[in-house]
Structures are given as C-alpha cells and as structure tokens.
Amino acid sequence: MAHRLGKLFPNTRAGALLTRTEERMREALRAVSGNSHAKNDQAAEADDATKASAEQDQAKTDEPKHGDVYGRRRLARGTQSQDSHEVHRRRLEARMQHDMEMARTIQQRFLPSVPEMHNGVRMHASYCPAYDIGGDFYDLIEIDRYRFQVIIGDVSGKGVAAALIMSRIIAEFRRAAHCGLEPDQVLDDVNRFLFDHDLPDGFVTASCVEVDLKNRSLKVANAGHVPTVARRKLTGATWMFGEPSGAPLGLLETEQYTCETFYFEPGDIIVLVTDGVTEAIEPNADPSAGVLTGIIADSDHNITDMSTQILGAVKASEQPRATDDVAMFAMQLA
C-alpha cells in the first residue's frame, strides 16, 4: 500500500514519507529475509558439522585403536611366553623323571639278584622304596663254600641322599665280610667308616647275619635294627631273636657290638625286615607287639607265602600311602 500511495503522490511530503516508509519496509524485509537465510545457512552448516562429526566418530569406531593393537600384541607375546615356559617346564619334568628312573635302575643293580636257591637254602627278597629311590638295602655275601652273610639295613632319611649313602654302605659291608670279620666286627668296622667320613646327620640301622651250613649255626649282630624272626619247621614255633646290641651305626664312635648265636634245623625259616614293615603293621611301630610274628606263624611254611602275607599286610595298613622304604629278606635253611 505505501508503494502505491507514494506513486500517486510523488511530489508531496506525504508521498516522500510514504516512499521512505516503503524503503524502510523494504530494508526491514531485506533484513528479515537476510537473517532468515543466514539462520538457514547456519542450521545447514550445523547439520553438516554434526554429520561430519558423526562420520568421523563412526570412522574412529571402525578403525582399530592404537592402544587395542598394542594390547593385543602384548597379550599375544604374553601367551607365547606362557607357552614357552610351559614347554620348558614339561621338558624339565620329563628329564627329571628320566633321571629318577635311571637312578632307580642303578640302585636296583646295587642290590643283589637273590637266587631262589643258594647252597641248598631257599631265598626270597623284596624291596619297595617309598619314593623312586630310597635308603633301605639288603645284600648276600658269600664267604666260602659253607658260609655266607646276609645284611639288611636302613639309612636314615629317604630319596637321593639316602640312596647315595646306601650304595657306599653296601660296598663297605662287602669289604668287611670278605676280610673274614665276624658279624659284630663287621658292624664295628662300618661304624668307624661312617665316623671317618663324617656323614652329615646320617646314621644306619643294620643287622648282620652269618649262616654256617656245616655247623648249622646262625650268628646275628644288630645295630639298632628290627630283630630277626625265626620259625621252626617241626613245631611251627615263631619268635624274635638278635635284639640290638648297640646304637645305630654312625651315632657313637666307640660303640661295640656283640653276636647272638642260634642253631637251626633243616627247613627252619629266617625272616629279616626293615622298620618300614613294622611301622606299617605294628602298633606304635613296636616289633614286640607280635603282629609280624603272628603273620609269619599263620602263613604256610614257605618263604614265598610268608613274603606275600607280610607285604599284603603293609599295603593293607591304615596309612594312606607308604611313608617309609620296605625291605625284606627271607630264607629257608637246608
């Protein structure tokens, strides 16, 4: 309307006012239109920025982060390191197991292969270490045609250290016996050997039995060991003899031992054991309780059956597992 009135009255004051009014309105319209366009442009720019930011965030999400990559690399290296340690550990265990098997084989070869028959005497021996190797031992030493000695003993401790001492002790017993020493003298000699070599915290219980087939005599010397068990063939009487006459070897330097003599009859059975047997089957590990002698008395009169019965009682004991080495030597005299 102002535009039309200004054209009708172009030369009047009112026309000029109307014209200026029109111009102002146009300026206002242009300003309003400009602001609207600017706002639209700003909104568009903001939308574009939001879209770009979202795309960038999505791209960052899609791309692997450096931290994650490094973390995965560290995890992979850690897994490889664990695998390497596990393989190394298994190899060490396999090598140690192999070494222990070799040590057990060597120890078994130190023990004599006891014949079923020796100069008319039936024999049977058993050895069961608590671990792969142990310190119990026995030996059969022939002196001449009619005489031989049987040694049975127990080195204090278990495992490798006891096995090493055992191997040397057997050699000393053989040396002393071949020198013609009586059982008590054999113990004296080995006792001096232990003190001469100053074994750390070590001692040995042992029983030395000499059988004379010509005179039908049996001499026993005992150094802190389990007594010997005898069973008569004719009467079935069973008893212990050869009680300790001194302390275990390696405890008292000036200790002296004595012999006890027993005269046997043909068919009599002699059984020697280590304390691994009595600790398993006897109350308070006391041989005088009579459990061992009872098993021998109730068995058939042959050393194979007796050995089976004794070892069966050890395995059937209330102990959850063997806690000590077990050695046994039985003979039926001619």
- Taking only the tens place, the pLDDT of each residue in 166-218 is 888 999 999 999 999 999 999 999 999 998 887 766 789 999 999 999 999 99
Superfamily of domain 100-332: PPM-type phosphatase domain (3.60.40.10)
Mean pLDDT within 125-134: 75
pLDDT at 262: 92
Confidence label for 273 from pLDDT (cuts 50, 70 and 90)? very high
**Contact indicator for 151, 137 with CB cutoff of 8 Å:** yes
Query: What residue ranges do the domains of the chain occupy?
Result: 2-45, 100-332
How much of the chain, in percent, has pLDDT values that exceed 70? 66
What is residue 164's predicted lDDT score, i.e. its pLDDT?
80
What pLDDT score was predicted for residue 317?
80
pLDDT of residue 298: 93
Task: Kindly calculate the radius of gyration of the chain based on its CA atoms and give it in whole angstroms.
Answer: 50
Question: Could you tell me the pLDDT band of residue 13, with boundaries at 50, 70 and 90?
Answer: very low
Q: Does the structure show a pLDDT above 80 at 234?
A: yes
Mean predicted lDDT score pLDDT of the chain = 79
| Banded model confidence at residue 282, pLDDT cuts 50, 70, 90 | confident
Residue 309 one-letter amino acid? Q
Encoded tokens for 220? 């026993």
List, in sequence order, every residue forming a beta bridge with 239; answer none if it has no partner: 230
pLDDT in tens, 283-310: 777 887 889 999 999 999 999 999 999 9
CB 225 within 8 A of CB 205: yes
Reference 231, options 303, 166, 288; nearest CA is 303
Question: Which pLDDT band, with edges at 50, 70 and 90, does 9 fall under?
Answer: very low
Q: Which of 70-79, 271-280, 325-334 has the lowest mean pLDDT?
A: 70-79
Q: Which residues does 176 contact at the CB level (< 8 Å), separation at least 6?
A: 185, 186, 189, 190
Residues for the chain: how many in total? 334
Q: For residues 328-333, give the mean pLDDT.
A: 95
Q: For 4-8, 152-156, 209-213, which range has the lowest pLDDT when averaged over its residues?
A: 4-8
Is the alpha carbon torsion for 291, 292, 296, 299 positive or negative? positive
Tell me what pLDDT residue 56 has.
Answer: 57
Task: With a cut of 60, say whether residue 4 has pLDDT above it.
Answer: no
pTM over 0.75: no
Q: How far apart are CA 140 and CA 130, in angstroms?
A: 23
